[in-house]
Structure 1
């Protein structure tokens, strides 16, 4: 029974796509956030993205126009273009997450199929469990592909540029 449970845990690895940031405040308390925007400004430079050696991407303030370019007393409004109520960053994140989820599911499916290539040392129950897992993984890949297709259709409807879909 323990082998079966261990096998099931190995078959369905939990994958996380979300980024998590960690920082220590002035009291020495370790804090976590799923979005760099939720990290207080004074700790953003010290925040670490968990699971990565890369420093976190900076949240850039709107581009400043040199004072000489603006007439005095006139403030310039920086408008972010919106596509269907979402800005560029939201579209990029959605596509990144959808593509990442699909790639992860496809990798899991490929791994399961590879495990069936040598069934000589496998019991009948292990073989059946893997076959059943393959069916579930195929269904998951199809569902994620459908979700990505719907996202692409929505992006087409709102004329989202192709460079946001990478």
Structure 2
């Protein structure tokens, strides 16, 4: 029994005792001008040992690990913003504004292009002559109108889908535009 107590005391003293670490750094330069740094003098080649710079290290105490204190369990606070389908209300608002703006701009562009095409065709019927640039613009607008109308149809279906999702997630009507 005495041996166990003595052994326990010795183990306790070695665990509690904080070891001190000393490390010297050795630096030398070879004939090519390369600087070498090592922590053991035996790693320095014999022909450079007389030219070694020694940096004495101050004693550093190794910090003992402290026992981990039990922390009170932190409750996860709910997000500050209410989420509608994994997105905050501001995201929905921005998405609706963006798609409405895109639809509006595209409708305006289509309207302007159709007006140009109508004026061009009316002028042609009345014998108006056009420059090469005006004819190219007419051809380009004629082609772009069909592409833009297809894109407008896609945007409107995306808008309807966004409204449907927003309604299912409980986004307020004022945001959805209903």
**When the two structures are superposed, what TM-score results if normalisation uses the length of structure 1?**
0.49
Greater Rg over alpha carbons, structure: 2
In proportion to residue count, which structure has more strand? 2
Higher share in helix = 2
Compute the TM-score of the two structures, normalised by the length of structure 2: 0.46
- More RCO (CA 8 Å, sep 6+): 1
